[in-house]
């Protein structure tokens, strides 16, 4: 795919970027807003976003009171 100019979005150990990534889970971790794991790769073509990356992000888990 790289020969067509399609590049995979680097995510793991990067700061969460909502323009390029979708958070599918918050994982309890001291590194807040840091990508812990990539669930699905994201891709860009030049400056065009083809697909957002689905990632798990570090932070504090909160329990919803219902």
**Global pTM value:** 0.81
Any domain includes 46: yes
Q: Which domain holds residue 6?
A: 1-12+41-61
Any domain includes 57: yes
State residue 65's pLDDT score.
Answer: 42
Any domain includes 17: no
State residue 53's pLDDT score.
Answer: 98
Mean pLDDT per 10-residue section of the chain, whose length is 66 residues = 86 97 94 95 96 95 57
Any domain includes 55: yes
Separation CA 54–CA 15 (nearest Å): 13
Q: 40 near 54, Cβ under 8 Å?
A: yes
Separation CA 23–CA 9 (nearest Å): 14
Separation CA 40–CA 58 (nearest Å): 17
- Our count of domains for the chain comes to 1
Any domain includes 18: no
């Amino acid at each position: 795919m790289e020969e067509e100019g399609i590049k995979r979005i680097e995510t793991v150990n990067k700061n969460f970027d909502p323009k390029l990534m979708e958070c599918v889970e918050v994982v309890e971790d001291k590194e807040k807003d840091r990508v812990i794991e990539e669930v699905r790769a994201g891709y860009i073509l030049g400056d065009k976003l083809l697909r957002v990356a689905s990632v798990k992000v570090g932070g504090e888990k909160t329990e919803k009171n219902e």
